[in-house]
Amino acid sequence: MKISAGASSRIEKSRTFASMENRPLAERMRPKSLDDYIGQQHLVGPGKVLRKMIDTGALSSFILWGPPGVGKTTLAMIIAEQLHRPFHVLSAVNSGVKEVREVIQKAEAERFFSAPNPVLFIDEIHRFSKSQQDSLLAAVEKGTVTLIGATTENPSFEVIAPLLSRSQVYVLKPLEREEMERLIDLAIEKDYYLARRGLVVKEKDALISYSGGDARKLLNIIELVVNGLKDGEVIIDNETVKREVHENPLLYDKDGEQHYDIISAMIKSVRGGDPDAALYWMARMLAGGEDPKFIARRLLILAAEDIGLANPNALLIANACFDTVHKIGMPEARIPLAECLIYLAASPKSNAAYLAINAAMKRVKEEANLPVPLHLRNAPTALMKKLAYGLDYKYPHDFPGNFTEQAYCPEELKGTVFYRPQQNPQEMKMLERLRAWWKRRYEG
């Protein structure tokens, strides 16, 4: 049977739409250019670093660090596309040294005349072993490929130093509420299949709350809710979203994304002094196959940030736990993790050191180049001594109690207090000592 040109065109179009409909909403909504990209304006906004890379064509290797669903893969694809670079993708979960070498050989074959370097995108680069990362070094060093890595883990812990030193690290943030609202509107209005349903989003709070700044999760929830609507229903409100999410408990389990929700619950339970709740959330993670080293790292950060100077031993315990977990692995690692978790939850809490360094860094940003007072400067040469470097410095050990009052800050910061001790026995002792030394500064 002969098919007319018009009918053939309609059939092809129908196949295209069917193909699109089979793709998840998150994939259908994946932006193709920075103009359509939502979020990360500190990196891709006008005049920002990644926007400049595209505008100038001067692409260097970098690692994108951030939680799931904030646009790491999309950003890499857009950059390669807009710079007309060959784009190779490896997943650290499925690729070994052999696959890395094959991609590098292919990239070398693509480099001819003045062609730009191909982009090698490695998803979950933190899962690459040392040998896998070593196999990348020479290619990155020689410029055979421009590396773009994506990771949900701190690269300082998981990426080898030589590779890290050859790459910039850019931190991606969870999407803000305004950005999530914009994404909801775009999905409802612009996606072909949702737009033709005539949907109305009456309330957005539940969608945004359950998504937690994760764009992919947000779009997955929208798709889930829409699929759950009965014939004729077009209104999406908070109750509709809650009903669908609660009836689909595995919604957040895909690809291990749920660990961000549960690790948050665990940390907040420790911060709130509830060891039983903290143990429950940690058990959930371990039962779900979460990497115990990830949990140990979070406990280490928590010990410094939330317990801090109220119990300085907490950091020692957490560091010992971190080392132990690296040495023994599961299932035995659950024991030192539980010991550390209970200790941290039952400890007094203080975030004074965390607040103090943040305040100091904020001040440095505002006044970055204040001069070091002359009496504090090093004077290794005769000329420096002649210029009064180190003159009148008082050596504290020469004075009673190993202390004497003198200026240590630049004149512009005289009397500034960054560290404010909190109400716990350990810091109260420190405050008493500081008041004895710096009477006027710590009054009140």
Q: What pLDDT, in 10s, does the model give residues 144-188?
A: 888 999 988 888 877 888 888 888 999 998 899 999 999 999 999
Lowest mean pLDDT among 223-237, 240-254, 371-385: 240-254
Q: Which residue has the higher pLDDT, 122 or 390?
A: 122
Give domain 366-437's CATH architecture: Orthogonal Bundle (1.10)
In the structure, what pLDDT confidence band is assigned to residue 10 with cuts at 50, 70 and 90? very low
Q: How confident is the model over 413-427, as pLDDT tens digits?
A: 888 888 888 898 988
Residue 270 is predicted with a pLDDT of: 94
Q: Where in the chain is the domain with CATH 1.20.272.10?
A: 258-346
Q: Where in the chain is the domain with CATH 1.10.3710?
A: 366-437
Q: Please report the sign of the dihedral spanned by the C-alpha atoms of residue 419, residue 420, residue 422, residue 425.
A: positive
How are beta strands 146-151 and 119-123 bridged, if at all?
parallel
- CA 144/CA 101 separation, integer angstroms: 12
Residue pointed to by tokens 């539980």: 338
Q: How many CB atoms lie within 10 A of CB 353?
A: 20
CATH 3.30.9.10 fits 258-346, yes or no: no
For 165-196, letters b (16+ CB in 10 Å) and e give: eebeebebebbeeebbeebbebbbeebeebee
**Which 3 state secondary structure label does DSSP give 236?**
strand
User: Do 175 and 215 meet the contact criterion of CB atoms below 8 Å apart?
Assistant: yes
Residue 444 is predicted with a pLDDT of: 61
Q: Please report the sign of the dihedral spanned by the C-alpha atoms of residue 117, residue 121, residue 126, residue 129.
A: negative
The pLDDT of 257-268, averaged and rounded, is: 76
Fold for 177-253, please state it: Helicase, Ruva Protein; domain 3 (1.10.8)
For 196-349, where are the E strands, in sequence order?
200-201, 235-236
Residue 22 is predicted with a pLDDT of: 67
Q: How many CB atoms lie within 10 A of CB 432?
A: 11
CA nearest 281: which of 342, 204, 370?
342
In the structure, what pLDDT confidence band is assigned to residue 350 with cuts at 50, 70 and 90? very high
For 321-340, letters b (16+ CB in 10 Å) and e give: bbebbeeeeeeebbebbbeb
CATH class of 28-171: alpha beta
The pLDDT of 104-116, averaged and rounded, is: 75
Q: How confident is the model over 27-77, as pLDDT tens digits?
A: 899 998 888 899 999 999 988 999 998 888 888 899 999 888 889 999 999
Q: Where in the chain is the domain with CATH 3.40.50.300?
A: 28-171
Residue type, position 28, single letter: R
Q: How many CB atoms lie within 10 A of CB 360?
A: 14
Q: What is the mean pLDDT of the chain?
A: 84
- CA 403/CA 418 separation, integer angstroms: 20
Q: Which residue has the higher pLDDT, 234 or 299?
A: 299
The pLDDT of 360-364, averaged and rounded, is: 87
CA nearest 63: which of 171, 174, 215?
171
The pLDDT of 75-87, averaged and rounded, is: 88
